[in-house]
């Protein structure tokens, strides 16, 4: 009897070819598991495609709410943008997919889990590290790393065996999409000098020519209202993305440092992610105490780097999560965004019932309650150490006019 293997199935070219290739070359029974994280998946079509390719069973899991609650929301709390730009669109979805792959592998008594990632990408790291964290007893298989196919070969193989895929020789883009955004690779995009063609964009096509203001409300860090209307998290993400994307906002074109050491040109569409990150970060500026805000800003890039590198299920990530959660208790209020045609989006207002901004302290008008006379003593004590050091050194004023002289 052939052993069973659960395959992370997307319905795309590589995983569709992998179903048949694994069954033929490795003599395994393939259980195709597709996880819907907001990519607009047609469950019936995906199941049909997997079974037609040779899977013994096809499972589609609706994980949109779980993905938003357990994975996107922590990323928002961490203001997570890898290398200060990329909001982890693909990286965030991998651990929730692995969670369900492991569940299905155990339910079907599978000996291993397979994925369709190449040897050059980040996703192989994310899948395999997460699988070994959750189910170290399972074998991990990567057919794309061992088969002799180029992308053109895979297209030919699919055509030869009647495997229906959306890719073609004239449209070689590789697309990964979920409710947090969309990643686009391959084809002309592999040349970092070439401007991305207009046809690669679907979420940020400018369909409106007027400016728009939206108000996003947060409750303890959770985005919960849009223009005063209470919405569930997945619906709010979708509606924010639709609003700002219709003005062309939300595109990223960057050269990115992959975990395997390769620089890669990446194009992303993430209108909702970028808008919500902008709003959330701005509200934190209003509500977080200074030292807490500064320390959080220092830790945020590390959180993003861990997730990018596939370390979602790791002790350090878990510890940083606890810190991020604790910072959100008072991140409550509203942020007003103005979106203009041409892809411009900016914060134009913010307010909170627990704001640490005090008008009577900040103003220079007559209502000023700040005790200016206290400043002299504060500044004197603040600079006391420098004054003492300078006095013992004989003063540094003479050296300032001779930079580099050492005199």
Residues serving a catalytic function are 14, 94, 123, 174
CA atoms within 13 A on the CB side of 291: 0
> Which residues, in sequence order, are bridge partners of residue 36?
62
Other C-beta atoms lying within 10 Å of the C-beta of residue 92:
26
Apex 132 CA angle, 85 and 100, nearest 5:
75
User: What is the C-alpha separation between 352 and 84, in angstroms, rounded?
Assistant: 26
Query: Would you list the DSSP string of 251-317?
Result: EEEEEEE-TTS-EEEEEEE-HHHHHHHHHHHHHHHHHS-HHHHHHHHHHHHHHHHHHHTT-SSSHHH
Helical H segments across 121-232, by residue range: 123-134, 143-146, 151-160
Strands (E), 121-238: 139-141, 174-178, 181-185, 212-219, 222-226, 229-230
Residues 6+ apart with CB under 8 A from 382: none
CB-side neighbour CA atoms (13 Å) of 206:
15
Burial of 193 (0-12, 13-18, 19+ CB in 10 A): exposed
Angstrom distances, CA of residue 141 to CA of 22, 23, 254, 387: 10, 13, 31, 65
Residue with tokens 């590390």: 302
Tokens standing for 343? 């892809």
Strand order in the sheet with 181-185: 174-178, 181-185, 263-269, 251-257
């Amino acid at each position: 009897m052939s052993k069973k293997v659960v395959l992370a199935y997307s319905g795309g070219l590589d995983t569709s070819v992998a179903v048949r290739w694994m069954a033929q070359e490795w003599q395994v029974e393939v259980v195709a598991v597709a996880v819907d994280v907001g990519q607009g998946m047609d469950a019936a079509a995906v199941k049909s495609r997997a079974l037609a390719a040779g899977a013994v069973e096809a499972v589609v899991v609706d994980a949109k709410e779980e993905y938003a609650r357990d994975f996107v929301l922590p990323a928002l709390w961490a203001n997570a943008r890898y290398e200060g730009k990329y909001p982890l669109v693909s990286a965030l979805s991998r651990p929730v997919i692995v969670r369900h792959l492991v569940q299905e592998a155990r339910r079907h008594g599978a000996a291993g889990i397979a994925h369709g990632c190449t040897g050059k990408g980040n996703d192989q790291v994310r899948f395999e590290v997460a699988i070994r964290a959750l189910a170290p007893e399972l074998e991990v298989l990567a057919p794309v790393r061992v088969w002799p196919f180029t992308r053109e070969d895979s297209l030919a193989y699919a055509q030869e065996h009647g495997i229906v895929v959306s890719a073609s020789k004239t449209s070689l883009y590789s697309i990964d999409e979920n409710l947090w955004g969309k990643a686009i690779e391959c084809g002309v995009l592999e040349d970092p000098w070439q401007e991305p063609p207009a046809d690669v964009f679907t979420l940020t096509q400018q369909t409106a020519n007027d400016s728009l203001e939206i108000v996003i409300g947060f409750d303890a860090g959770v985005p919960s209202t849009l223009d005063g209307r209470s919405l569930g998290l997945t619906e709010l993400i979708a509606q924010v993305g639709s609003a700002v994307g219709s003005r062309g906002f939300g595109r990223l074109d960057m050269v990115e440092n992959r975990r395997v050491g390769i620089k890669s040109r990446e194009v992303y569409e993430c209108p909702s992610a970028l808008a919500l990150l902008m709003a959330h970060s701005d509200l934190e500026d209003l509500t977080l105490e200074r030292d807490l805000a500064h320390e959080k800003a220092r830790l945020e890039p590390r959180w993003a780097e861990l997730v990018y590198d596939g370390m979602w299920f790791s002790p350090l990530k878990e510890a940083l999560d606890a810190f991020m959660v604790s910072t959100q208790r008072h991140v409550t209020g509203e942020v007003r965004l103005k979106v203009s045609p041409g892809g411009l989006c900016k914060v134009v207002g913010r307010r909170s019932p627990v704001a640490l901004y005090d008008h009577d302290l900040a103003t220079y008008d007559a209502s000023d309650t700040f005790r200016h006379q206290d400043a002299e003593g504060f500044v004197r004590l603040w600079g006391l150490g420098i004054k003492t050091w300078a006095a013992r050194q004989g003063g540094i004023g003479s050296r300032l006019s001779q930079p580099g002289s050492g005199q």
